[in-house]
Amino acid sequence: MTGAEAMVKCLEAEGITRVFGYPGVAIAPFYEGLYNSSIEHVLVRQEQNAGHAASGYARLSRKPAVCCVTSGPGATNLITALATCYADSIPIIAISGQVSSELLGRDVFQEADMTGATRSFVKHSYLVKDPDDLPRIFKEAFYIASTGRKGPVLIDVPIDVQNKKLSREFKYPDEVNMRGYKPEVKVNLQQIKKVVAALDKAKKPLICAGGGVILGDGEEHIRAFCEKFNIPVVSTMMGIGVMPKKHPLYFGMLGNNGKPYANKAVGRSDLLIIVGARLADRAIPKPENLVRRVGVIHIDIDTAEIGKNMGPTIPLVGDVKDIFEALMEQEIPVADQSWIDELEEVKHSTVDPRVFSDKLVNPNLLVQMLSEKMDDNAVYVADVGQNQLWSADNYVMKNGRFMTTGGMGTMGYSIPAAMGAKMYDPSVQAVAVCGDGSFQMSMNELATIRVNQVPVKVLVMKNRFLGLVREYQYNTYDSHYSGVRLYDWPRYDKIAEAYEMPFFSCSHDADLEKTLDEFLACPDACLMVCDVDSEDRVK
């Protein structure tokens, strides 16, 4: 058996049935292996999108997904997707072809030092030197990607290693044995006691749920805990989806792009329980000031996140499910209803100062209506820009998934990620929502969607600008709009026609409901464009 055949066997052993990729000579032996296997290869139109598609696939399946690229430019094109997965802790396995071992370091055609170049964007990486190492390396890679704090793992395989025969019979290991990687953490009962004592004293406890809750499959646990002890919840952008939007204990997304009343809830609480969030600058601008005033319990699977941006009063390291299972059994007083009532009052007295144009489609109304009309378990993928913030602000979470790149903010994520999610579960409705800027960063994937008959719905909020930068220039540079005009092209109807996709468009709120109904009822992949006023702002 050759190294390439072994790589395919490893993927089969991990239960992988589909990979996203883009071939080249340096990865050709692996593609020959795929040709002879039952694994489906999905040819994307640019390597970065193979990574984003794998990301969407992994987020819905909650298991590592695989992408594969060739050496040199193929591999470097993938780096943005790796960085995106790393920032959001998404488990993907990236396989890159590499030039022949004896040519490494000679700067030959299509050689790029991938393990070196991706060092700060992957959880771990391998440069394979011997085909006999492949089974162990694949086993380790899947284990590392999917345990502890999840993340991308890169396996760089020189072409000669793919071609060389294994010296012994292929055997996929049953378990891993890495002396430097032990992700299992036992819940520290001493710390649990401290948490209970803090909750015992707190009059106004508040949970802040981050993306780690979803990565740790802990949504149900958080919901059960907050309901049992009557503790209100806010979320970060990555934590949207932990709580249903209309849950009586949910008070929205915090942060400088979040709900003012969510930030007020943080300000008024006396004990903040942060779960699976790193609280970066966009969530809490000056964490040190907050810590001086309120007690902070920081729960995370990654020890290094605790205290990185905010010194906690009580650190608690571990798996979200284990920790909340332990907490559910503790004697904790049920929080007073007056605290919830106070937050309700804050919520209802907060007036939205924004005024939206009534000439075109109101983006808030669009997101609300769209997400209300979507299936209960639908996947909503928000891209990056004003569309993302309007989406996060107005998305009506029922029992589906809200996906976006909260950490890296990578434009062009939504179309390939929605495609990946839809390919994992064709029964789930998947909608990519993007702006006219982000759409054009990955519109080439409409071909992949069309060819593979993946009925993804793509909705573009078109305002002829890179809206979020324009808004920044409006606020910061006296409306000097520099480099942000997209003008009126492409003609979206022609794009849809070129890919032979049904097309819908809407320019007025009055037509919105009808058009959305048609768009959502369409059984095929389809494109919808909503004209949004460029003066409409997120703040």
Partner 1 sequence: MKGIFSVLVENKEGVLSAISGLFARRGYNIDSLAVGETDDRSVSSMTIVSTGDQRTIDQIEKQLNKKVDVIKVRRLDEAKSISLEMMLVKVSCTPANRSSLIELCQITGAKIMKVSPKFLLLEYHAEPEGVEDFIDLIKSYGILDIQRTGTISLSKT
Residues that bind partner 1 (CB under 8 A): 115-116, 119-120, 123-125, 127, 144, 178-181, 302-304, 307-308, 311
- Bridge partners for 402 per DSSP: 380
Whole-angstrom distance, CA of residue 486 vs CA of residue 29: 42
Between the CA of residue 411 and those of 433, 435, 466, 491, what are the distances in Å? 11, 9, 11, 20
Answer yes or no: are the C-beta atoms of 24 and 53 closer than 8 Å.
no
| In the complex, minimum distance from the CB of residue 119 to partner 1, in angstroms, rounded to a whole number | 5
| In the complex, minimum distance from the CB of residue 115 to partner 1, in angstroms, rounded to a whole number | 6
Whole-angstrom distance, CA of residue 275 vs CA of residue 297: 8
Q: Which of 3, 173, 188 is nearest to 98 (CA)?
A: 3
Q: Which is nearer to partner 1, 119 or 193 (CB)?
A: 119
Q: Which is nearer to partner 1, 105 or 248 (CB)?
A: 105
| In the complex, minimum distance from the CB of residue 156 to partner 1, in angstroms, rounded to a whole number | 11
| In the complex, minimum distance from the CB of residue 377 to partner 1, in angstroms, rounded to a whole number | 34
Determine the residue type at 253.
M
Q: Kindly provide the residue ranges of all beta strands, DSSP E only, lying in 265-374, ordered along the sequence.
A: 271-275, 295-300, 314-317
Q: Which is nearer to partner 1, 178 or 451 (CB)?
A: 178
Q: Which is nearer to partner 1, 183 or 409 (CB)?
A: 183
| In the complex, minimum distance from the CB of residue 86 to partner 1, in angstroms, rounded to a whole number | 12
Tokens of 9: 């066997």
| In the complex, minimum distance from the CB of residue 306 to partner 1, in angstroms, rounded to a whole number | 8
Q: Which is nearer to partner 1, 84 or 442 (CB)?
A: 84
| In the complex, minimum distance from the CB of residue 181 to partner 1, in angstroms, rounded to a whole number | 5
| In the complex, minimum distance from the CB of residue 288 to partner 1, in angstroms, rounded to a whole number | 10
Q: Which of 234, 263, 264, 237 is nearest to 249 (CA)?
A: 234
Q: Which is nearer to partner 1, 154 or 379 (CB)?
A: 154
What is the 8-class DSSP label of residue 262?
H
Whole-angstrom distance, CA of residue 42 vs CA of residue 36: 15
SS (H, E, C) 89-144: CCCEEEEEEECCHHHCCCCCCCCCCHHHHCHHHCCEEEECCCHHHHHHHHHHHHHH
Q: Which is nearer to partner 1, 116 or 333 (CB)?
A: 116
Q: Which is nearer to partner 1, 145 or 237 (CB)?
A: 145
Q: Which of 269, 264, 262 is nearest to 243 (CA)?
A: 262
Based on the number of CB atoms within 10 Å of its own CB, is 444 exposed (0-12), middle (13-18) or buried (19 or more)? middle
Dihedral, CA of residue 133, residue 170, residue 37 and residue 109, to nearest 10: 30
